[in-house]
Chain A
Amino acid sequence: MHIPDGYLGPATCGVFYAVMLPVWTIASKIVKKTLKARQVPMLAIGAAFSFVIMMFNVPIPGGSTGHAVGGVLVAIILGPWAACIAITVALVIQALLFGDGGITAIGANCFNMAVVLPFVGYYVYKAISYNAPADSKRRVLAAGIAGYVGINVAAILAGAEFGLQPFLHHTASGQALYCPYGLNVAVPAMAGEHLLIFGWVEAIVTALVVKYLQKQAPEVVEEGGV
């Protein structure tokens, strides 16, 4: 889901940077109000977890690859705004240092994976785990469903961003200037592989870690949100 340089035209890149600047500002302000000093190591662990889990490319035999983001998990433990900051740091370093995701697409990639994914996942988790005790199985289930829904909404959005490009930018002869696949190809491709495979990876990762935390550190699950 790391959109590289060149796939999105300048208009799309600009729009998402313009959207992300206030989001990052608000995230800093909210986290500044709510993050306790003792939670900072957990935030670093969350960002590091997101970074490394994205390196676990899961193959579709003979086809493409994909991976979990781990962002819903960070949102469940520290809240969606803190998750936004943690995942942003991971994505920016992936882009600058490792060329994973384009630098012109940092705005779009952060919107998909550091905003939509953790926020959707967080509220799905909150809705399903409402009033559930910290050690309940419903929280594990809620985490799994939240991971699945969060990554799929983000993937479909990324598909839409790819798919808009041939309509926005093409030569007189109809050749695309950037991503050449329209919505009819990009959205089903991104949605299909995440609904069938990668969504389950995010679901299992999120649910398993929440289950582990219930056992090892129930207070972390209980706090739920910064």
Chain B
Amino acid sequence: MKITTKLWIGLGILIVLSPLGLILPDHFKAGDAWGEWGVDAFKELVGYIPQGLEKLSSLWSAPIPDYAFKGWEEKGLGSLSFAYIVSAIIGILITVCVVLLIGRLLSKKE
């Protein structure tokens, strides 16, 4: 088997396992990454919400925020894991297409 085929299979395995990145933090009661808190968290953290931060934070509304479907925020870990895997598939498909396109434009023929 070609090495690229093996690596594609490896990526597939990583996609299936990706919900571990959701389940483990939940299990160990770990919160957001440092510096990636939601706006509301600042009241508790520093006692006020920085004005500029509040304004800019809502600048962009991503179609699949935090790798979860809109309106699914309150769903259980099972549904969120499903959304996480779908997000990984969508994200990787687009990433691969964009890189293949760039690669085609940039690479030289042998």
B residues near A178, Cβ cutoff 8 Å: 50, 52-53, 56
> Which stretch (A35-43, A119-127, A140-148) binds chain B?
A35-43
Cβ of B60 and Cβ of A193 under 8 Å apart?
Answer: no
Cβ of A64 and Cβ of B33 under 8 Å apart?
Answer: yes
A residues near B32, Cβ cutoff 8 Å: 64-65
> Which positions 91-128 of chain A face chain B at CB distance < 8 Å?
93-100, 102-104
Cβ of B21 and Cβ of A67 under 8 Å apart?
Answer: yes
Cβ of A7 and Cβ of B95 under 8 Å apart?
Answer: no
User: Does A62 reach chain B (CB closer than 8 Å)?
Assistant: yes
> Which positions 25-74 of chain B face chain A at CB distance < 8 Å?
25, 27-36, 39, 42, 45-46, 48, 50-57, 59-67
Cβ of B95 and Cβ of A36 under 8 Å apart?
Answer: no
A220 to B3: give the CA distance in the assembly, Å: 9
Cβ of A89 and Cβ of B95 under 8 Å apart?
Answer: yes
How many residues on A have C-beta within 8 angstroms of the other chain's C-beta atoms? Answer: 76
Residues A180 and B42 in contact in the complex (CB < 8 Å), given A40-B107, A55-B88, A58-B24: yes
Nearest-neighbour CB distance to chain B for A10, whole angstroms, equals 8
Contact with B along A1-32 (1 / 0, CB 8 A): 11111110100000000000000000010011
User: Does A200 reach chain B (CB closer than 8 Å)?
Assistant: no
Nearest-neighbour CB distance to chain B for A65, whole angstroms, equals 5
Cβ of B59 and Cβ of A103 under 8 Å apart?
Answer: yes
Closest-by-CB residue of A relative to B97 is A44
A125 to B90: give the CA distance in the assembly, Å: 32
